[in-house]
Amino acid sequence: MRQAIRVARRGIGSTHPNPRVGAVVLRGREVVASGYHLRAGQAHAEVRALTQAAGLAQGATLVVTLEPCAHFGRTPPCVDAIVRAGVRRVVIGMRDPNPLVDGRGIERLRREGLDVEVGLLESECRALNPPYLKQLETGLPWVTLKAMLSLDGKMASESGESRGLGGEAEQRLAHRLRAESDAVLVGVGTVLADDPLLTVRLARGKTPLRVVLDSTLRTPSEARLLATAEESPVVFATTSRGKSRVREIEAHGASVWVFEPAADGRVPLAPLLLRLAGDGRYAVLVEGGAAVHTAFLREGLADRIAVGIAPVILGGARAPSLAGDLGRSRLSEAIALESLVVRRVGRDLWIEGSIERNGASDV
């Protein structure tokens, strides 16, 4: 199963909206074939592994990270291919909660007389597909907050400068995160300060949907996001109903999504996330700025944090940090991370972790 998990990771950034899945074919203790799902509409991991195994699949064991499908979609049911190949035993990492599957693949395999085991390394298999699983379970996308910080936790200097805070290696990693996401989101403050493109240039993969929180449509007409809207889609989420400004933005090729304002007059985050998930955007990367990060954390809508830390100290009482007032005054109320990954990236330190969901920090 660990090898199937490693194989599944090869599909990172390309399987959307399908989950990442890996499969291996075993004869005794020998792996004779492996496969992973590469792209929606193409062969699933099980079929690729069985095709590679050919006649060696007869009487063999198939190990797969996610329950095989038993329905017709863009491809035929995987269980049919498994049965035809003559596989004797199937080991499944986890049941697929997709209502179209949800135990039907397991039931069909057992009905066909195959020996089926479910739940091997289930937590590791779940970790392959947090966006896919979260949208099925909650209707919301998986949200990662990304930031580059100084040693003293600042996202920018007091004058608003932030470009160059991260080194080249960190920038490549940031672009890889974009390529692995379905949408990248910033606030209008970031657009006004940095005029970002939010495209993927330093990594392999396609540019995700670009989303700007702009409640009053302050984005200037000369912004690079608008200039490239025909090449890479961009959505402006707003509460403004000014028809002339909406038409002006749409004339550049961008889309405008209008929402009823939240209590503070800003774009309501939960309805926006629901619409993104409904649009098939299951992994959302939030790149800031500080007010946007704060809003996601306050509302409990962030799932993962990814921060780079540069070996510099910026200082400045008014310099923006990762988060502002979260309404938490005690250490016991701190937002804690789990499943930490810490590594050196060029001159910088990179830290990633999922937000604990048990309601309290263990700090």
Binding site membership for Zn(2+): which residues? 44, 69, 78
DSSP letter assigned to residue 321:
B
Measure the CA–CA gap between 16 and 135, rounded to whole angstroms: 13
CA–CA gap between residue 180 and residue 45 (Å, rounded): 19
Contact 62, 120 (CB under 8 A): no
**Distance between CA 303 and CA 331 in Å, rounded?**
20
Tell me if residue 338 is catalytic: no
DSSP E strands: which ranges in the chain?
A: 22-27, 30-36, 61-64, 89-92, 115-118, 142-149, 183-187, 209-213, 234-238, 255-258, 283-286, 304-309, 337-345, 348-355
Residue 361 and residue 332 in contact, taking contact as beta carbons nearer than 8 Å: yes
Instruction: Considering the candidates 46, 170, 180, 352, report the single residue annotated as catalytic.
Output: 46
- Give the residue numbers of the binding site for NADP(+): 190, 194, 215, 289-295
CA nearest 303: which of 341, 338, 354?
354
Q: Which residues contact 276 (CB under 8 A, 6 or more apart)?
A: 141, 182, 183, 209, 211, 284
Q: What single DSSP character describes residue 240? A: -
The residue type found at 226 is: L
Binding residues: 44, 69, 78, 162, 178, 190, 194, 198, 201, 215, 287, 289-295
User: Which secondary structure element, helix H or strand E, spans residue 245, and what is its range?
Assistant: helix 243-251
Catalytic residues: 46
